[in-house]
Copies of this chain bind each other. A is one copy, B any other.
């Protein structure tokens, strides 16, 4: 996967992949949701390395509403665990790092920088809090998809969890931020083969695609 040997694989070849099988396995085919992790610490630098990939992914109008709350202290961890569904509490308390992925409903404050070709973009959204929240949630969820792939591209493994009281998290951990929690992701290295469930089935292409 050095640049020299890789370039020829980037040539377009219909029906084949433009990445090697090892990359396809790492990012998608062999990647599993992880529930128990080793004690190895996960640094801010590692999450930043993932962010430095995901931030290039497209969002509506380049609004980039995804925000990341890195939960590290025992106090913050305990507060978050209280708002998780019962089966997820111990995982949040034990993971090396837990990230609350959130949508910033005040994303419009950055649009003067992010959308230079539309000078009035900020003002278009300033009076429409409900519209901002819907748009923030949609684009931030797409960015969660980028985030999970990007974490894997840094060598980390992810354990995303939707079973939580989002309003409780917002009130206790995100008060006055304008951030709305979307899901919670444990991050680290898998403790061992027992850290993942057996692979559950997936739908076939013919079950998800139609042609008109």
Write the residues of chain A forming the contact surface with B, with a CB cutoff of 8 angstroms. Answer: 1-3, 5-7, 9-24, 26-29, 31, 33, 43-49, 51-58, 60-62, 64, 66-73, 75-76, 104, 110, 113-117, 138, 141-150, 152-155, 158, 160, 162, 173, 177, 182, 189, 197, 200-203, 205, 207-212
> Residue A114 contacts which of B150, B203, B210 (CB distance < 8 angstroms)?
B203
Evaluate contact between A26 and B15: CB separation under 8 angstroms.
no
Name the residue of chain B whose CB is nearest to the CB of A72: B211
Give the copy number: 2
Cβ-defined contact, B20 with A26, below 8 A: no
When C-beta atoms are compared, the residue in chain B nearest to A197 turns out to be: B117
Contact of A3 among B15, B21, B27, B58 (CB under 8 A): B21
Which 6 A-B pairs rank lowest in CB-CB distance, beginning with the nearest?
A145-B145, A1-B20, A141-B141, A18-B155, A76-B212, A1-B6
Q: Are A7 and B22 in contact (CB under 8 A)?
A: yes
Q: Flag if B6 contacts A68 (CB, 8 Å).
A: no
